[in-house]
Each structure stands twice: as C-alpha cells, then as structure tokens.
Amino acid sequence: MAKGNINVSVENIFPLIKKFLYSDHEIFLRELVSNATDATLKLKHLTNIGEAKVDYGNPQIEIKVDKDGKKLHIIDQGLGMTADEVEKYINQVAFSGAEEFLDKYKDSAKDSGIIGHFGLGFYSAFMVAEKVEIITKSFKDEPAAHWICDGSPEFTLETADKTERGTEIILHIAEDSTEFLEESRIRELLNKYNKFMPVPIKFGTKEINDPEHEPATITDKDGKETKEPHRQITVDDIINNPNPAWTKQPTELKDEDYKNFYRELYPMQFEEPLFNIHLNVDYPFNLTGILYFPKMGQDMNIQKDRIQLYQNQVFVTDNVEGIVPEFLTMLRGVIDSPDIPLNVSRSYLQADGAVKKISSYITRKVADKLKSLFNSNREDFEAKWNDIKVVIEYGMLSEEKFFEKADAFALYPTVDGTYYTYEELFNKIKANQTDKDDKLVILYASDKDAQHSYIESAKAKGYEVLLLDSPIVSHLIQKLETTKENISFARVDGDHIDNLIKKDENTISKLDDEQKKTLEELLKDVVPSDKFMVQLEAMDSSANPFIITQPEFMRRMKEMQATGGGGMFGMGNMPEMYNLVVNTNHDLVSDILNTEAKEDKERLINQSLDLARLSQGLLKGEALTNFIKRSYDMIK
C-alpha cells in the first residue's frame, strides 16, 4: 500500500473548495458524471483506432444511492486507470491550477463556475463528501487500484480486486449534505445536468410491459371476451436521451421530431412552437442546436432564460446572456458548443472571442431562416407575424446586422390587414403620401378602435394607415426615421389629417380675424389651459368641429421612456398636454359664436370638448358623469 501527500502547496485547499464553491455544490454530480462520460467516450475512440484491444460493447454509467451506508456510487465502464495514472491524474494534475485558483478567488466568496476552469472537477466531490474512494481497473492488463482520501492532503493507494474494466467513485456523504442521499434529489440533478449526456445513465430500475408478451384473449362462460393483464418485466431505468435531436443532421429530422424534442425540453409547455431554426456549424467554431420561436404576441416580459446551453451534451446554464444576442433570449431551445468553457464566470464568457463569434453567427442564422420562411410561404409567415414581431422588432433595434437583413422579411401591416415589406410600402404610398416638402409621411395607428375616427379621415383621403401596436414601436419608428431617407412617421391622431400630410392647397376660413379673436376669448374662458393648447384651423366643413390631438414628438418621447430610453427629455414627469384643434369652417363653431346667452355658449363648448375627449378615451370619472347628465338635459 502506498501513502503520500497530494501535490498541493496549500494545505487548506479542501475547506476552500467547500467555502468558495458552496453556492454551486450540487454540480459535483455533473462533474463526476462528465468525467465518467469522458472516460467512456475515450475508450470508444481508442477501440475505433485500434489502440485498445477490448470489446467496447454497450457501456453505461450507473448511479447508486446507499442511504443506510450514507454513500453515493458513480460507476462507469470506461477506460479506467492504472495505479500510476491515479497518481498522475488524481494526485498531481488535478491541483495544477490550485495556487492560481486560491490567488484569484481568495477575496471572493461567491463566484460560481470555476471548478473546471482550474482542473478541479473531480475534487468538487469534497464539497459534499467527507471521504472519497476510487476503485478503478484500466483497459490495460494491469491490477486494479483503490485510492482513498478523507478530505485532507493525505491519501492511500493500494491494489484492489476489481475485475471489470472502468471506475467506481464512492462518496461518503458528509452530515451537512445528506440531501444527496435522497433518490428524488439525485434524479432531479441528473435530469437537470445530464438529461442529454451521450452515454446511457442508469439510475435504478423500472417496471414496463413485456414487449415480447402479447396478452391472450380470455372468453368467459357467457362468451364475453377480456384481455389478460400485461406481463411486467424489470428493466434498467435509463434517465437520459443520449441522442437528442440537435446532435442529428436536419435531413434526418421531420417536423414531428422537432415538436417531440420541444416537448422533451419543456414538458409543462402545452402550446406548440411556431417554427424552429436548426443550427449546425463546424467552422470557424463548432456549434449545434435548435432554437424555437414560441407564441409571444405583445408580451415583452415573456420568461427569458429558456434557452439551455450545453457543452458536448453536458448542461452548463440557462442564462445565455452574452452568448445569444439579447433579442433572442425570448426564444427557447438548445445551443451546444465545445468552444464554450464549461465552468467560467459570466464576465469571462462575455469577453471571450469565440463566444462573440457565436453570438453574431446565431444572429445571422436566425435572419437567414426568417427570410427563407418568408420567401417559401409568405401567407403562413404573415399569419404568424403578430406572434413573432416583438422579437424581430427588438432585433432590428438592438443588432445592426439584423436590422440590415430584416428589410427582406420585416412586415408593416395596415389597419385593413394587408402586409407590406418596407419596399412594398414605400412604392405603394410614395405618390399619395409625399407632402409639399417632398417628405414621405407614413401614417400609423396603435389602436384601431380608439383611433377609428382618425383612421377613417385618413382613409377618406386615400391614405394607407399602418397598425403598429407593439410595445417598442416608438423606438422602432425613431430608428427607421434616422436610417431611411426623407421619411417621417405620424400617428393618425397626432393632428388633423391635412396637417399630418401638408399639401400645397390652403383652405380659406369662414371666420374673419375679429370673429377668430372672439372665439379664442370664449375658448380661453372654458377650456382648461393646463390640459389643452387651443389651435384655430380652417378645415373642410365636413371635418369634426373639435379635434383633440397629442403632439407626435411629446407622445413618442413619453412612450419611449416607458419602455426604456428617452429619459433624458424628462417626459415621464410632464403633465399630459393635448392640442385642441377647432375647425373654424364647421357650422357648430359658427353657432357657438352666434348664440347669445353666455351660459349656452359655454354649454356648447363643454359638450363639444367632451365629445372630442370621448373620441380619444380621455373622458373619465366626474367629467364623464357630468357629460352624460348634460347630454340627457339637452335631449329633454
């Protein structure tokens, strides 16, 4: 029997492992199962190239809980180790980065994800175990070895009587970690971290119907037929799927395969995804994966962190910020890349060159897929637009390369349900919606019902009105105005239609200057100046007498601030201000001027103002109650 000290200069490495990595202590199982997987796959490679003259067979990894003995066993049938290799890989190599680890993390108590980065994967076992044993038999013709360490730098190494190839690691679970002796807890961790590992993982057994036994049909004395019960057999419970969909070629998969895999990833998600994007690249880095577009509608607060990140089928994290562009974190699915370090800090990931390339590749791939879907079935794409537009519009705002590509598939729907690309829209409205200053004005509504009368006024002029109702529309139109040449967006209720798209012709007012001055005085006495800026306008006599609008700039800045941005203008603290446009050519305005009694004049002005407020959804509370009472009085 050999005894010795582990090659580490700092004697208190074990307490430090536990202290610094305690918040992450559950990942010990991931590390040990990953090591077992590596040992199995390495053996497969060596047998394939003829260096290991053994029968590879159908190896699996087994996890066993011995609650009474307070032990957890991880057993593989991989290449195993000789005593010399245990000395080399367990006692020396594992601590090659120990001093760097202590140096870097001595002042930090909570950085997660650093074990693998410093070669400490195996030693994560000591976060939960007071003693660890390794019993291992190499595929080479050498005796088995038995290594024991009790969490101090001292170890013993002796020969063992193990005859089967592979490694068994036995964790003697510490008193403060007895949760890892519960089968339900181990199953939860295996499902979380090892659900798609490439080697079958056995965890106990289960009863299933015997596939080779067809239940016989039994006929009773009355001639009634019944089937005998299925015969049950006990089989290994393999808790993982070693060949998940993303490891296959797209040509091997049908739509139903993608949908089945989505259900496997999200068993509690009952809505089908709209479509998927299969990622598969091997240069300049390796990356595979499947991303799904879920149904999103208008919801910007949809649960993020649903994309799972793997390294060689080992789960790493579902916080993919910095790896996946932010606008795509609303998607779901899997990304797997051996080029992403398994255990590193978030800041390390964001600074990593390979990770940045991966992010821009995913952006490009998603844009290309959307273009392809649009070109191959535009009708279907249009039908799904309202469920995916939030992601696309967010991408147009946040990723310049995506914005450039989005011209090919971003849609601009009208209030009548027609969908245009930007180029189609431009060509459709250029002749009719270019104003006297040669600027193209794109009209839009955000609420078809609330802005109905304004939409109708615009349509009466033959104008197209877009329906742009996503939460970030103010940011998007700002971006389009600064990117596209000589255009502006105007919401249909931002002003009278003739002012939104100013043409050369001027309408002559029926009122002379003195009548206008009298009207202004009347309005000043009745209309609250803290809420409305009064404008007298000569408009078509068929246009409404009183129209309430909100200046485009002010409204847009307030909207932008509400969804992030625009805060520098301080709009969020400003009171709501509206324009009251009074049509001097309407008969009612003339009637107000010609009414003799002051009380009657005021009642007509209040009634007209309230009707205008009602059309904008601004009449509420006491003012609405008074309006209804006044209206009934006028009917009487």
Answer yes or no: are the C-beta atoms of 207 and 213 closer than 8 Å: no
Is 81 annotated in a binding site? The answer is: yes
Is 585 annotated in a binding site? The answer is: no
**Residue 73: how many other CB atoms lie within 10 Å:** 16
Is 167 annotated in a binding site? The answer is: yes
Distance CA(507)–CA(537), nearest Å, equals 9
Output 351-354 pairs: Cβ under 8 A, ≥24 positions apart: 354/285
Q: Which amino acid is at 267?
A: P
How does DSSP assign 564-590, residue by residue? S--GGGTGGGSPP-EEEEEETTSHHHH
With vertex at residue 386, the alpha carbon angle to CA 382 and CA 388, rounded to the nearest 5 degrees, is 90
How does DSSP assign 89-136, residue by residue? IIIIGGGTTHHHHHHHHTT-S---S-TGGGT-TGGGGGGTEEEEEEEE
Answer yes or no: are the C-beta atoms of 240 and 270 closer than 8 Å: no
- Please count the residues of the chain: 636
With vertex at residue 186, the alpha carbon angle to CA 18 and CA 191, rounded to the nearest 5 degrees, is 110
Tokens of 260: 């089945």
Residue 236's φ and ψ, nearest 5 degrees, are -60, 140
How many CA within 13 A on the CB side of residue 588? 17
Is 97 annotated in a binding site? The answer is: yes
Is 76 annotated in a binding site? The answer is: yes
Distance CA(36)–CA(31), nearest Å, equals 9
Is 35 annotated in a binding site? The answer is: yes
Is 236 annotated in a binding site? The answer is: no
| Residue 155: exposure state from Cβ atoms within 10 A (0-12, 13-18, ≥19) | buried
Between the alpha carbon of residue 618 and those of residues 4, 254, 453, 612, the distances in Å are 83, 53, 15, 9
DSSP state of 351: H
Is 456 annotated in a binding site? The answer is: no
Mapped onto helix, strand or coil, the DSSP state of residue 28 is: helix
Location of structure tokens 């994007």 = 277
Query: Strands 314-317 and 440-445: what pairing?
Result: unpaired
Distance CA(578)–CA(198), nearest Å, equals 64
Answer yes or no: are the C-beta atoms of 135 and 144 closer than 8 Å: yes
> Annotated binding site, which residues?
31, 35, 76, 81, 96-97, 167, 346
> Annotated binding site for ATP, which residues?
31, 35, 76, 81, 96-97, 167, 346
